[in-house]
């Protein structure tokens, strides 16, 4: 195939980092140890470190996946190395620092897993991962991922169109929106436990029916040829490439089709900063980040700043979804 | 007793303080070099150095009240070196922001500074620290005479600007930023008399003449603030 990923682009997975341990050892016994606090929550004793001790190696290791359906890929941009895709994550369920999820998810086992689909459907279902793998052909989709914090990656996802899953449950005519929910289990997701938790859990997200049925919208079960690592949203997550990363909800346990627009976590938290649509838009700035450009995370130490594209470069495919919508108002 | 020990070993104490403050920065450089900070260390580096500068600023501002309370005058000698370390951490913080975050795009830096109050506040705090660092040299201090203390009182402005800069910059987890604001408030509260004095002085200066000398039509005319009929 013409656009096959060159094997040189695939970086082998690095050994798990032990930053936390190193930081603790280096905790110079002066007031400055506060500076060296590895996580925001661990600044003073007051916040406590609720997280259980983590093993050196994760209990769940991603398994190789076979691509059962070849799809063309037009994206020629360089892939972000796997080691960076799996060590730089926003997944507050495992902590608020970028390196927290890989550290704090080592005890997280996504097996067994079930996902429930209900609401405005003719056929409610509860599926386990075996059923999902049996019913859907796995494709590889290389997408840009643009975080609202103005960094971006290029990731080879594995998955299947969300539309295929939704057709299975036969939406009723009242189904206008799709609501998603992440697992709520503070025992397994230590970030949900934090006494000073900054966001309400469970994490929820939503799409319009048209967005959910769009062929680019992916239910991802893997990346870089393997099942998803815990920190990337194992075992099942959403990937909506033309929206800011926070829309692509991880570790989904429930999908509900609704008539009313469902609440979404970041919008509920700061409605002036995050909208329901959250389409990548270089014209509409976030109060704290310019959205005109982004730092593309690649193999170099310094992520290069590149211009951000309208709808993250998927304008031709998705612009028609928003015809007549004021994107400044509906950000 | 403690005071005498401090006085006698001041150079050793200073060396230890230098080491204790340089160590986290050296460790950070080592971690970065070793790739231990994850896929994109920019945010971590920015927060680490920014919070480091803020912590050091607070420690610096704690020296005087502490030394006064426990009558440990030799500690006053630590203020300059601590202040210069605040500047060092703040400089690394700003350099990381400009070089790694903005990709050395100075036009973007200019735009961001003007369009985002939290960056503006950070820049203003940095400008204050820069002025204080440059004038920290003994020779300059002598030459500035009484003006020197006036200039160095601006540190209290930095003590307000910096935590507000931090508070406005965080996306979630405001609790920590609020603690910084509270600590800043407390450090200023410890100096309420000093900070209040100029306000009081000004108040008296403005009030006194009015109270003692009623405004007559003629004096008002002399001041030019009544329309002639």
pLDDT (0 to 100) of residue A196: 60
Res A29: pLDDT:
34
Query: Residue B57, CB half-sphere, CA atoms under 13 Å: how many?
Result: 32
pLDDT at B194: 85
Q: Residues with Cβ < 8 Å from A231, sequence gap 6 or more?
A: A86, A87, A89, A91, A94, A101, A102, A105
Measured distance CA(B223)–CA(B220) in Å, rounded: 5
Mean pLDDT of B35-53: 89
Between A49 and A205, residue with greater pLDDT: A205
Domain assignments of chain B as residue spans, ordered by start: 2-191
**Residue of chain A minimizing CA distance to B21:** A32
Residue A238 β-bridge partners: A219
Contact list, A34 vs chain B (CB under 8 Å): 51, 55
Q: Is A248 among the annotated ligand-binding positions?
A: yes
Provide mean pLDDT across the span A203-232: 97
Task: Please check the confidence at residue A40 and state whether its pLDDT lies above 70.
Answer: no
Round the average pLDDT of chain A to a whole number and report it. Answer: 85
Per-residue pLDDT, B209:
58
Neighbours of B9 (CB within 10 A): 13
Where do the domains of chain A lie, and which CATH numbers do they carry?
7-322 (3.90.420.10)
Q: Which ranges in chain A belong to alpha helices (H)?
A: 19-25, 82-85, 100-104, 129-135, 162-168, 209-213, 265-269, 315-318
A19 assigned to a ligand binding site: no
Closest residue in B to A296 (Cα) is B40
What does residue A199 show for φ and ψ, rounded to 5 degrees? -130, 150
Say which residue, B200 or B211, is predicted with more confidence: B200
DSSP output for A211-279: HHHSTT-EEEEEETTEEPPGGGTTT-EEE-TTB-GGGS--SEEEEEEESSPPP-HHHHH-TTT--SS-B
Contact (CB<8Å) B39/A269: no
Q: Report the distance separating Cα A243 and Cα A53, nearest Å.
A: 35
The band of A27, judged by pLDDT with boundaries at 50, 70 and 90, is very low
Q: Is A250 among the annotated ligand-binding positions?
A: yes
Is residue B227 scored above 60 in pLDDT?
no
Interface of B with A in 58-77 (CB under 8 A): 59
- Per residue in A140-198, pLDDT tens? 999 999 999 999 999 999 999 999 999 999 999 999 999 999 999 999 999 998 766 67
Q: What is the pLDDT of residue A25?
A: 40
In this complex, do B44 and A98 lie within 8 Å of one another by their Cβ atoms?
yes
Q: Mean per-residue pLDDT for B195-215? A: 69
Taking only residues 89 to 108 of chain A, the set having a beta carbon closer than 8 angstroms to any beta carbon of chain B reads: 92, 96-99, 102
The reply, when asked if residue A147 is annotated as ligand binding, is yes
pLDDT over 80 at B76, yes or no:
yes
The answer, yes or no, to whether residue B69 has pLDDT greater than 80, is yes
Per-residue pLDDT at A51: 52
Confidence (pLDDT) at B162? 96
Give the model confidence (pLDDT) of A251-293 as tens digits: 999 999 999 999 999 999 888 889 999 999 999 988 888 899 9
Residue scoring higher pLDDT (B15 or B170):
B15
Q: Show residues of chain B in contact with A31, CB under 8 Å.
A: 55, 59
């Amino acid at each position: 195939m013409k656009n096959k990923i060159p094997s040189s682009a695939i970086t082998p997975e690095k050994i798990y980092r032990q930053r936390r341990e190193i930081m603790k050892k280096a905790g110079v016994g002066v007031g400055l140890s506060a500076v060296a606090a590895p996580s925001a929550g661990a600044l003073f004793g007051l916040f406590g470190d609720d997280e259980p001790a983590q093993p050196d190696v994760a209990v769940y290791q991603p398994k190789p996946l076979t691509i059962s359906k070849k799809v063309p890929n037009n994206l020629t941009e360089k892939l972000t190395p796997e080691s960076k895709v799996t060590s730089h994550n926003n997944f507050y369920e495992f902590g608020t620092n970028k390196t927290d999820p890989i550290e704090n998810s080592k005890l997280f086992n996504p097996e067994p897993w079930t996902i429930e689909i209900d609401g405005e459907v003719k056929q409610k279902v509860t599926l386990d991962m075996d059923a999902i793998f049996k019913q859907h052909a796995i494709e590889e989709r290389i997408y840009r991922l643009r975080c609202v914090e103005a960094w971006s990656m290029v990731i080879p996802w594995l998955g299947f169109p969300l539309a295929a899953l939704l057709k299975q449950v036969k939406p009723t005519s009242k189904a206008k929106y799709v609501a998603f929910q992440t697992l709520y289990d503070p025992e397994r997701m230590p970030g949900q436990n934090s006494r000073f938790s900054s966001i309400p859990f469970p994490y929820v997200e939503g799409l319009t029916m048209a967005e959910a049925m769009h062929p680019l919208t992916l239910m991802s079960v893997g990346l870089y040829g393997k099942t998803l690592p815990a920190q990337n949203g194992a075992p099942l997550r959403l990937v909506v490439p033309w929206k800011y990363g926070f829309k692509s909800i991880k570790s989904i346990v429930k999908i509900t089709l609704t008539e009313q627009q469902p609440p979404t976590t970041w919008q509920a938290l700061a409605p002036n900063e995050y909208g329901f649509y959250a389409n990548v838009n270089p014209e509409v700035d976030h109060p704290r980040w310019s959205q005109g450009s982004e730092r593309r995370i690649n193999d170099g130490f310094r992520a290069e700043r590149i211009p951000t594209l309208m709808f993250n470069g998927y304008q031709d495919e998705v612009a028609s979804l928003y015809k007549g919508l004021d994107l400044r108002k509906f950000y | 007793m403690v005071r005498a020990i401090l006085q006698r070993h001041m150079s050793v104490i200073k060396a230890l303080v230098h080491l204790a403050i340089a160590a986290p920065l050296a460790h950070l450089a080592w971690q970065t070099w070793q790739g231990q900070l994850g896929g994109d260390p920019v945010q971590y580096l920015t927060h680490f150095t920014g919070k480091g500068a803020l912590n050091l600023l607070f420690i610096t501002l704690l020296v005087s009240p502490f030394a006064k309370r426990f009558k440990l005058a030799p500690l006053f000698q630590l203020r300059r070196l601590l202040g210069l370390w605040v500047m060092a951490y703040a400089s690394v913080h700003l350099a990381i922001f400009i070089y790694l975050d903005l990709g050395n795009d100075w036009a973007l830096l200019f735009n961001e500074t003007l369009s985002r109050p939290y960056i503006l506040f950070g820049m203003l705090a940095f400008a204050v620290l820069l002025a204080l660092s440059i004038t920290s040299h003994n020779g300059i201090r002598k030459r500035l005479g009484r003006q020197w203390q006036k200039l160095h009182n601006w540190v209290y402005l930095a003590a307000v600007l910096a935590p507000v800069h931090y508070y406005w910059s965080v996306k979630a987890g405001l609790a920590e930023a609020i603690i910084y604001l509270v600590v800043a408030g407390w450090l200023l509260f410890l100096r309420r008399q000093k900070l209040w004095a100029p306000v009081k002085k000004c108040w008296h200066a403005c009030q006194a003449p009015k109270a003692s000398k009623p405004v007559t039509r003629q004096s008002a005319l002399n001041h030019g603030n009544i329309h002639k009929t």
